[in-house]
Amino acid sequence: MSRCSPPKTARAICEKLRLFLEEICCNLCRFSEAAEHGVFPEEVRIAQESFLGTPQAHADIRVDVSDRLSYFVEVKYGYSRSQIVSSLARKTAQS
């Protein structure tokens, strides 16, 4: 029986937690939009891993509500500040 080294185990736990937080954020966006703008929750469209038009650039969450502008949510739990800046710079870079 092999055992994971602590750093590998910590990374796996952090990744699972990040995915869980992403799911919670999707639900928060859906119900927040419904409450604030008087739409039904099912009218709030949520897309995860939404392509941003640049190779290998995806937003964690895209939120679309009827006639309003779409917006994006990034969940970066466990990332260092430099990783966050690097990720956002890569995703928002002009090609």
Q: What is the DSSP string of 11-77?
A: HHHHHHHHHHHHHHHHHHHHHHHHHHHT--GGGEEEEEEEE-SSTT-EEEEEEEETTSPPEEE---T
pLDDT of residue 67: 80
At 27-63, the pLDDT tens digits run 999 999 999 989 999 999 999 999 988 888 899 999 9
- List the domain boundaries for the chain: 6-92
